Amino acid sequence: MSETQNAVILMIVANHSTHQGLHSLLEGTDFVLEFSEDAEDGMKKAEQLLPAAIVLDINIQGAINGYEVCRRLHANRLLAGVPVLMMCDREDRDSRAAGLAAGADDFLDNPPDGLELLARLRTLTRLSLTGRMINDLARFSWMVEHAQEGYLMLDQSGSIHYANDRAQNLLNLPNDFIGLPFSMVVDRQYVPQPEEAWKNWPEDPAPCFLVQPEGPTARAVWVILEALDTPKGMEYRRIVRLRDVTERMSIYQDMRKFHTAITHKLRTPLSMLYTSVSLIKMQMSSMTPEEIAKFMESAIRGTERLAEEVRNIVTYLDAPLSLNLGDPVSLDVLPELVKSICERLQMSDVILSLPEDMHPTVISLTRDALEMIFYELLENSHKFHPTHSPHVEISVGRTEDGFISMRIADDGINLSAEQLDWAWLPYFQSEKDFTGEIPGTGLGFPMVATLIWRSGGNLWLRNRQDGPGVVVDLKIPLEITMRNMQRSAAPYRPA
């Protein structure tokens, strides 16, 4: 395709015969021609069309002459880069001098020669497009350098060839970052999630999270990693964008949705309480003791439900704090902790398998955090079971890469693909599809994810393959592993 294909040329000419001549000369070329026969209309069309070039008759009609039209066209910020070819007589030196003073980019003889006209239009159009590209590139470079997002360019081997200031800050890059392997830079400072997406990222750059676990003095950092491959012949580049979504991930959703969900949760128990008390107040004189007792029972149920909803909301909001309240806990507390939770939830069929040699192992969670995680998971098993009497198996072991693995498997119900995808978001109600009601706050799974991810671990939720129920797999760092991860969050430097 020609560089000038479909380029718009605006002809501002006064003489009708000149109009016809220009049309005949350029008919069948790769230009799109637009015409105007007076000065004011020509300037309006120029703003509307933003042409690649303008052919201007020096003798154009209107309240202003051709020189003034040329000056105004170049003074217009939208048209400043559009070349103007001024038509005048070959021997009229004064007109050409005045045209140059007005800003004309070139001149055409009147009447014009067809080959000369075509050649000059093509040359000026290419120059105009090149100039616009250079200006656009300058604007784009300024925008990238001052963007809130981080931008990088990688070569085919995955090495960094460019990084704006924001990317250098998010990745803690040294001054001599050119040529550093991007994957090694990421792995040194972040924990990519999901792990499967990061493993396949060099071949298939699907969006994923970069998580920097919470430390003693700093909160967790969340960055979304996105990429676009731009192959062109033998030259290959991958453009990478890093978006810091720490604030959004801290609450999982924007405040409007969060408040809406809380309002929905609190409205029902408040309505029960208010309605019952109001009826008693208005009709107490005509009500029997049995009727008063009935409404009081409803008010008490509303009060208890309201207190439970408030407790769940506050627990969710305070959950991340439990990571920093107390010291890292050893696994020898787990049997007594699970037993206590089962007594509170009235669950009798829970089996814990914890090897004796793992009892002294210290993990990166505090006791409060570990208790909160198991309470939420066991409560979900109890709540989702058709008869609220699940059989739960908890097994603890070690992974090949030195983490602690915990598996919690129940025999409740299987979840749909949508439920598995969204179970970690606040207020997503899986139980709605099962019972038709929304008795819980939907904050259990998201709270567990928050605690695990911020401790530097990982987790998975799956349906059981051998029957109904779900399996939650936790991967938790050892306390010493967590300290090493925090120390390694430093600028990457080649060995």
Domain at 150-250: CATH architecture: 2-Layer Sandwich (3.30)
How does strand 328-330 pair with strand 362-366?
A: antiparallel
Instruction: Name the amino acid, one letter, at 303.
Output: T
CATH superfamily, domain 324-490, is Histidine kinase-like ATPase, C-terminal domain (3.30.565.10)
Distances (CA, A) of 85 to 4, 174, 225: 17, 51, 49
Higher per-residue pLDDT: 176 or 437: 176
The torsion angles phi and psi of 48, rounded to 5 degrees, stand at: -75, -40
Q: 384 pLDDT exceeds 90? A: no
DSSP assignment of 194-239: SHHHHHTTTTS---EEEEE---SSS--EEEEEEEEE--BTTB--EE
Question: Under 8 Å CB-to-CB from 344, ≥6 apart: which residues?
Answer: 375
Instruction: Name the β-bridge partners of 437.
Output: none
Q: What is the DSSP letter of 181?
A: B
Domain at 7-145: CATH architecture: 3-Layer(aba) Sandwich (3.40)
Nearest to 153 by CA among 243, 228, 244: 228
Q: What pLDDT, in 10s, does the model give residues 193-230?
A: 888 889 889 888 888 889 887 766 567 788 989 998 87
Please give the share of the chain, as a percent, with pLDDT higher than 90. 24
- The lowest-confidence range among 217-226, 414-423, 439-448, 485-494 is 485-494
The torsion angles phi and psi of 315, rounded to 5 degrees, stand at: -60, -45
Element (H, E) at 7: strand 7-12
Higher per-residue pLDDT: 86 or 479: 86
Q: What is the DSSP letter of 327?
A: P
Confidence of residue 480 (pLDDT cuts 50, 70, 90): low
Tokens 């609450």 locate to: 251
Confidence of residue 386 (pLDDT cuts 50, 70, 90): very high
Please give the pLDDT value at position 341.
Answer: 93
Please give the pLDDT value at position 88.
Answer: 84
* CA distance linking residue 114 with residue 92, whole number of Å: 20
CA atoms within 13 A of residue 129's CA, in its CB half-sphere: 14
Question: Under 8 Å CB-to-CB from 53, ≥6 apart: which residues?
Answer: 7, 9, 10, 82, 83, 84, 85, 121, 124, 125, 128
Please give the pLDDT value at position 269.
Answer: 76
Please give the pLDDT value at position 441.
Answer: 37
Q: What is the DSSP letter of 246?
A: H
* CA distance linking residue 413 with residue 448, whole number of Å: 20
Q: 338 pLDDT exceeds 90? A: yes
Question: How many other CB atoms sit within 10 Å of the CB of residue 464?
Answer: 14
Please give the pLDDT value at position 31.
Answer: 83
Q: What is the DSSP letter of 455?
A: T
Please give the pLDDT value at position 434.
Answer: 34
Q: 187 pLDDT exceeds 80? A: yes
Q: Are 208 and 193 in contact (CB under 8 A)?
A: yes
Higher per-residue pLDDT: 190 or 31: 190
Please give the pLDDT value at position 156.
Answer: 84
Q: 241 pLDDT exceeds 90? A: yes
* CA distance linking residue 92 with residue 88, whole number of Å: 7
- Which range has the top average pLDDT, 7-21, 56-70, 279-293, 464-478? 464-478
Mean pLDDT of the region 341-351:
94
Instruction: Name the amino acid, one letter, at 451.
Output: L
How does strand 31-36 pair with strand 53-57?
A: unpaired
Please give the pLDDT value at position 332.
Answer: 95
Confidence of residue 468 (pLDDT cuts 50, 70, 90): very high
Tokens 């030196």 locate to: 93
Please state, rounded to an integer, the average pLDDT across all residues of the chain. 80
Q: Where are the alpha helices (DSSP H) in 385-478?
A: 417-422, 432-435, 444-454
* β strands within 321-420, DSSP E: 328-330, 350-353, 362-366, 392-398, 404-409
Q: Are 82 and 54 in contact (CB under 8 A)?
A: yes
| 396: three-class secondary structure by DSSP | strand
Confidence of residue 336 (pLDDT cuts 50, 70, 90): very high
Q: 163 pLDDT exceeds 70? A: yes
Please give the pLDDT value at position 407.
Answer: 97
Please give the pLDDT value at position 428.
Answer: 39
CATH topology of domain 252-319: Helix Hairpins (1.10.287)
- Which range has the top average pLDDT, 3-12, 229-238, 300-309? 300-309
Nearest to 447 by CA among 316, 337, 351: 316
- The lowest-confidence range among 150-154, 175-179, 284-288, 402-406 is 284-288
Q: What pLDDT, in 10s, does the model give residues 93-137?
A: 888 888 888 888 888 887 777 777 787 788 777 776 666 666 666
| 179: three-class secondary structure by DSSP | coil
Confidence of residue 316 (pLDDT cuts 50, 70, 90): low
Please give the pLDDT value at position 52.
Answer: 84
Q: 283 pLDDT exceeds 90? A: no
Q: What pLDDT, in 10s, does the model give residues 421-434?
A: 667 654 434 433 33
Please give the pLDDT value at position 378.
Answer: 94
Mean pLDDT of the region 411-427:
73
* CA distance linking residue 108 with residue 17, whole number of Å: 16
Tokens 């990519």 locate to: 192
- Domain boundary assignment for the chain: 7-145, 150-250, 252-319, 324-490
Mean pLDDT of the region 290-306:
83
Question: Under 8 Å CB-to-CB from 139, ≥6 apart: which residues?
Answer: none
The torsion angles phi and psi of 33, rounded to 5 degrees, stand at: -100, 135
CA atoms within 13 A of residue 236's CA, in its CB half-sphere: 7
| 34: three-class secondary structure by DSSP | strand
Question: How many other CB atoms sit within 10 Å of the CB of residue 287?
Answer: 15
Tokens of 7: 């380029």
Question: How many other CB atoms sit within 10 Å of the CB of residue 116?
Answer: 12
